[in-house]
Amino acid sequence: MLFPLARLLAAVSPPLARYQDTLFTMSSRLSARTRKIVGTFVLVAFIVCWAFFAMLLGLRILENASGLTQGVYYIATGCLWALPAMFLLKWMLKPDPEEDA
């Protein structure tokens, strides 16, 4: 998740290019256990923020809408959080690289 953004920043900003390898290898140095605990906190924060902004947007846009329209909106936004969360879960659950001894 963070690492494609780091690659883009390194391409745009030459001073960041020297840190590019550090940012890419950072993920491989985290153990599966560490990725899971970090990902859990990030996922909870993401869901709370998603719910808050979906509520704000719904209150702003659907102020005079019918109950059916509001229900469809809240059901849709209640399900759509899973799409961005899939990438975080994929990162969290990837296995540890095998160490050559």
Q: What is the pLDDT of residues 39-87, one digit of tens each?
A: 999 999 999 999 999 999 999 999 899 999 999 999 999 999 999 899 9
Q: How many residues does the chain have?
A: 101
**Taking the C-alpha atoms of 2, 92, 23 and 28 in order, what is their torsion angle to the nearest 10 degrees?**
-160
Q: What are the tokens at 97?
A: 């690289």
Confidence category of residue 32, pLDDT binned at 50, 70, 90: confident
What residues have CB less than 8 Å from 29, skipping those under 6 apart?
Answer: none
> What would the mean pLDDT of 12-34 be, rounded to a whole number?
64
